């Protein structure tokens, strides 16, 4: 029986002799490499926190002691040590989530996989424990150096430091990376802490003389960490943390189990807020990951663990790559074009632009709010910024879009990757909120391209707008074939008519065009004729839609966004305002947090495939158009 299989809970972990823990760490890494290369998932981050997670669960008594994981993609080891060792369906329907999940385990407190939140959660948990008289209950927040670039983390630190007698352990998992290398002043400060000669000598001493002479070593170690700030500044410039009132321990070798345990035990007994700074290596123990300079195998699809080649090559062209190529082309044409991203240069497709125009590329770290207002400054200064982020992460910067960009009528283009259903990453990553949230922003223009040609065209149209924010959104998927238009009425593309006097106007948004076309053909077999259109720009609503709607007896809108307050609702309002009295029915995603599953599975369950759209539309038509539908069916 392996050591790992004997661990059903943290209590079992604490029974394992310290001498056997390195073997357990090796088993965990072997398990992760084998399991995650089969299913896909976040491999590099988890390989980097094996020893750290073991130490956390040996020193703290979860779930009574609360451990909060920031972002959460590095929680696979935590899952293994808390009794979840079936990774066969990781990130698939019926399997484990790729993030902490409250429905999976009492050891998981926070499942929001957005970064920089753990310190605020932990601050609240520590306050609650104190108010409820649970003085022996510990709160631990594990946050990466990349997530410390987020402003929310520093708002939390400001409050945490205020209560110097409230126990709260902040573990900084410092691997110098978020996706790629961490950027910014904080990263430089942590780098200084890592590389200062005095601390290098201290770490060498700690690994050597202090550990070999426990009776003398422990008092020396304690004395060094308890020394006055001025003395410690001779070893490292850690004043930033201590000036906030935060005790600082480290840097600690995050792969040295005895050293981590010792530091965590000290932190546990301190009685106030304390930072434990651990240096880890993303991708540790898997040479291909360690040698991958792009992102250390941050997230992988199913791959061969030996060749690292995809098990099933995609064979398609992604939306992200089409955007990246067009941005590069636009960058060569327009010297005023600049690109901004929030720690996701490669995932959002800006690597090619950045290589060609490094001086016009700004990675601000995990700081979406700053990214947007910085873009406002760039636009005010005479440039046209393109802010490329995942759709779900723009939620965090809504106020900045509204008050810093739109209020000032600034030409900033937002490109939202991973819009609509993303699937395997679960509720927090589905980009199903943007077309609802952004509806309330005055002057904002929003495009949802249906194919590669439209993405290129609409990106160009977006960056030509100098007096308002523009948005271009697309999903995480391969692009399908081009969907040509029969004609354009106003700004609306007519994709298909299935009869001379069609009854149903199917308004398809972005990538739902394919489902709309399939539905129209299926509806014809049911005796209902339809016109399928793509508005291209879905905010503001094109006046041509009112004209088209007036020529039909039923309007059905289809979008991969939540049904509440989205494009369908805006179209219904626009028709009402234009005195077009035609019934409107809205098809979209259910307004709920959708669990992890394949993108296709969620779209099918939400009725957003061709058959789903056809079935729902036919039901609407049979209720609303009984006479016409019956005549057509009889005639057929």
Residues that are catalytic: 282, 368, 396
The counts of H helices and E strands in the chain are 28, 18
Report the alpha-carbon distance of residue 546 to residue 559 in Å, rounded: 18
Helix (H) / strand (E) containing 289: helix 287-290
| CB-based burial label for 146 (10 Å; 0-12, 13-18, 19+) | buried
DSSP at 541: P
Centroid of chain to Cα 621: 39
Angle at 421 between CA 419 and CA 426, to 5 degrees: 110
In sequence order, what E strands does 17-78 have? 66-69
Q: Are 209 and 203 in contact (CB under 8 A)?
A: no
527 — phi, psi (to 5°)? 95, 15
Helix (H) / strand (E) containing 27: helix 21-39
**Alpha-carbon Rg for the chain in angstroms:** 27
Q: Are 629 and 588 in contact (CB under 8 A)?
A: no
Q: Are 471 and 406 in contact (CB under 8 A)?
A: no
Centroid of chain to Cα 97: 14
Report the alpha-carbon distance of residue 139 to residue 67 in Å, rounded: 6
Helix (H) / strand (E) containing 232: helix 229-232
Tokens matching residue 459:
């990106």
Tokens matching residue 167:
């126990």
Distances in whole angstroms, Cα of residue 257 to Cα of each of 15, 24, 169: 15, 11, 18
Angle at 366 between CA 365 and CA 368, to 5 degrees: 105
Sheet holding 530-534, edge to edge: 487-489, 492-497, 530-534, 504-508, 554-562, 584-589
Which residues, other chains included, contact 271 with Cβ-Cβ below 8 Å and sequence gap of 6+?
165, 167
Report the alpha-carbon distance of residue 175 to residue 472 in Å, rounded: 33
Report the alpha-carbon distance of residue 223 to residue 228 in Å, rounded: 10
Q: Are 392 and 418 in contact (CB under 8 A)?
A: yes
Angle at 377 between CA 371 and CA 382, to 5 degrees: 125
Q: In the chain, what's the furthest Cα-to-Cα distance?
A: 98
Nearest of 75, 80, 86 to residue 111 by alpha carbon: 75
Q: How many CB atoms lie within 10 A of CB 337?
A: 19
Q: Are 182 and 149 in contact (CB under 8 A)?
A: yes
Nearest of 105, 109, 112, 139 to residue 125 by alpha carbon: 139
Place of tokens 């990538």: 511
Q: Please report the sign of the dihedral spanned by the C-alpha atoms of residue 105, residue 109, residue 114, residue 118.
A: negative
Q: Are 234 and 242 in contact (CB under 8 A)?
A: no
Q: Are 75 and 81 in contact (CB under 8 A)?
A: no
């Amino acid at each position: 029986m392996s050591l790992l299989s004997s661990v059903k809970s943290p209590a079992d972990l604490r029974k394992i002799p310290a001498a056997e823990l390195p073997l357990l760490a090796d088993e965990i890494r072997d398990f992760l490499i084998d399991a995650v290369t089969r299913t896909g998932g976040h491999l590099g981050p988890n390989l980097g926190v094996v020893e750290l997670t073991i130490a956390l669960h040996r020193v703290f008594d979860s779930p009574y002691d609360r451990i909060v994981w920031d972002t959460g993609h590095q929680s696979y080891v935590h899952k293994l040590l808390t009794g979840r060792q079936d990774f066969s369906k990781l990130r698939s329907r019926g399997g484990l989530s790729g993030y902490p999940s409250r429905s999976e385990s009492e050891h998981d407190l926070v499942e929001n996989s957005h970064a920089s939140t753990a310190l605020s959660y932990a601050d609240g948990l520590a306050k609650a424990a104190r108010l409820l008289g649970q003085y022996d209950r510990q709160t631990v927040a594990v946050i990466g150096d990349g997530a410390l670039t987020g402003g929310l983390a520093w708002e939390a630190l400001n409050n945490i430091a205020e209560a110097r007698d409230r126990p709260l352990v902040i573990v900084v998992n410092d691997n110098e990376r978020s996706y790629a290398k961490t950027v910014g002043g904080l990263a430089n400060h942590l780098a200084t802490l890592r590389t200062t000669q005095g601390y290098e000598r201290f770490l060498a001493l700690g690994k050597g003389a202090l550990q070999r002479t426990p009776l003398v070593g422990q008092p020396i170690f304690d004395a060094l960490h308890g020394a006055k700030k001025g003395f410690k500044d001779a070893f490292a410039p850690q004043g930033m943390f201590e000036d906030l009132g935060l005790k600082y321990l480290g840097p600690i070798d995050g792969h040295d189990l005895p050293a981590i345990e010792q530091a965590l035990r000290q932190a546990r007994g301190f009685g106030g807020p304390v930072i434990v700074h651990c240096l880890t290596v993303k991708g540790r123990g898997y040479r291909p990951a360690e040698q991958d300079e792009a992102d250390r195998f941050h997230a992988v699809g199913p791959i061969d663990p030996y060749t690292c080649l995809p098990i099933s090559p995609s064979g398609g062209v992604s939306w992200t790559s089409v955007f990246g190529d067009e941005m590069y082309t636009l960058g060569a044409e327009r010297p005023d074009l600049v690109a901004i991203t929030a720690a996701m240069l490669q995932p959002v497709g800006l690597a090619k632009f950045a290589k060609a125009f490094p001086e016009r590329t700004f990675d601000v770290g995990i700081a979406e709010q700053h990214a947007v207002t910085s873009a406002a400054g760039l636009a005010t200064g005479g440039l046209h910024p393109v802010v490329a982020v995942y759709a779900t992460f723009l939620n965090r910067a809504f106020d900045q879009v509204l008050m810093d960009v739109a209020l000032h009528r600034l030409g900033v283009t937002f490109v939202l990757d991973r819009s609509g259903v993303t699937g395997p990453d679960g509720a927090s990553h589905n980009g199903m909120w943007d077309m609802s949230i952004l509806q309330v922003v005055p002057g904002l223009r929003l495009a949802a391209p249906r194919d590669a040609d439209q993405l290129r065209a609409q990106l160009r149209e977006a960056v030509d707008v100098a007096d308002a924010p523009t948005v271009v959104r697309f999903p995480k998927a391969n692009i399908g074939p081009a969907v040509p238009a029969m004609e354009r009425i106003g700004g609306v593309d007519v994709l298909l008519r299935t009869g001379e006097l069609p009854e149903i106007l199917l308004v398809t948004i972005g990538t739902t065009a394919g489902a709309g076309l399939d539905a129209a053909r299926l509806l014809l077999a049911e005796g209902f004729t339809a016109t399928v259109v793509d508005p291209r720009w879905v905010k503001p609503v094109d006046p041509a839609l009112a004209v088209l709607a007036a020529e039909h007896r039923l309007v059905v809108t289809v979008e991969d966004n939540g049904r509440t307050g989205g494009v369908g609702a805006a179209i219904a309002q626009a028709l009402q305002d234009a005195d077009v009295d035609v019934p409107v029915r809205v098809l979209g995603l259910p307004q709920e947090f959708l669990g992890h599953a394949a993108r296709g599975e969620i779209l099918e369950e939400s009725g957003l495939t061709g058959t789903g759209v056809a079935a729902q539309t036919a039901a609407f038509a049979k209720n609303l158009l009984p006479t016409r539908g019956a005549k057509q069916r009889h005639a057929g």
